[in-house]
Amino acid sequence: MTDDRSLPRAVASLRGLAVGDAVGACYFIPLNQPLLTDRHLPPDPWYWTDDTEMACSVLTVLRDHGRVDQEALAQSFAAHHDFDRGYGAGVNRMLRLIRQEGADWREQAEGMFDGKGSWGNGAAMRVAPLGAWYGSADLDRVVAEATASAEVTHLHSEGVAGAVAVAVAAALAADTAMTGHEFLDEIAERTPPGLVRDGIGTAMTLLPLTDPRSAAASLGNGRYISAPDTVPFCLWIAAKHLDDFENAFWDTAFVGGDIDTTCAIVGGIVASRVGVAGIPEDWLKRCEALPEWVGVGVG
């Protein structure tokens, strides 16, 4: 179900995702890495990556179609594909073929990794605004739409599961009071069986921990760019910091790994709860504006 709160919630999630992505990406620059130890922000401007660019397409398709139209989403991904934003090699090739040669997105997605499909974290990194759009009133719908959004590029069951888990997390964050174990338990219940769901189960057992490095040692930090290695840790962070964007960001970034993506996922989930007002104003100002094609009011 959607209502007049759907777009504002999704925009807040997108802006949190973009800030997490953009600030997190700065720590891949060697000169900025020492700043992370003391939780100091990098110099601006902060430029977002493919995580945000693809999330913008997810939001625009939802706004224009009221659902995930897979053909429209594939075409939006391809039309707005900027090679310099840090896309993976497989998705770079796929989107170039769709845009330049009219390739069928289904055939391209099915052909990845010898027909097994991608189980990377790319579908999870962009999906939080979808969960915020729908909210928690119909989680079956959230699961179905998140699955559809993932399948455009990620057909492996784990890639899909990662997207489902993050979308459900953002939906629950948007309009429920759930935190901690209850939050993770509901997400796990909605996530398809497999490594991602197993990881969420492990995350529940690790909630008493306070050091994110200890949690990441068991859950991963995105270093292997897979959904199982990325999503459970992000959900552990979100479960502990759903009302605190700044500390959620720092605990995520502090453990390293695929920092732009983990911070994008966490930022999108937490901003679904706290709204734009809960993102530090200075961070929003220093982050690259969202692209004009997303629409009025989301820059």
Would the pLDDT of 1 be above 90? no
Q: How many domains does the chain have?
A: 1
Does residue 299 lie within any of the structural domains?
A: no
How much is the pTM?
0.96
Cα distances (Å, whole numbers) of residue 201 to 178, 204, 205, 234: 17, 5, 7, 13
pLDDT in tens, 201-245: 999 999 999 999 999 999 999 999 999 999 999 999 999 999 999
pLDDT of the residue at 43: 96
CATH of the domain at 60: 1.10.4080.10
Does residue 148 lie within any of the structural domains?
A: yes
Q: How many CA atoms lie within 13 A of 93 on its CB side?
A: 8
pLDDT in tens, 141-180: 999 999 999 999 999 999 999 999 999 999 999 999 999 9
Task: Tell the residue number behind the tokens 């504006």, with chain if given.
Answer: 289
Would the pLDDT of 46 be above 60? yes
Does residue 157 lie within any of the structural domains?
A: yes
pLDDT of the residue at 3: 67
pLDDT in tens, 264-290: 999 999 999 999 999 999 999 999 999
Does residue 223 lie within any of the structural domains?
A: yes
Does residue 280 lie within any of the structural domains?
A: yes
Does residue 1 lie within any of the structural domains?
A: no
Does residue 207 lie within any of the structural domains?
A: yes
- Mean per-residue pLDDT of the chain: 94
Give the range of the structural domain holding residue 54, as residue numbers without chain letter.
6-294
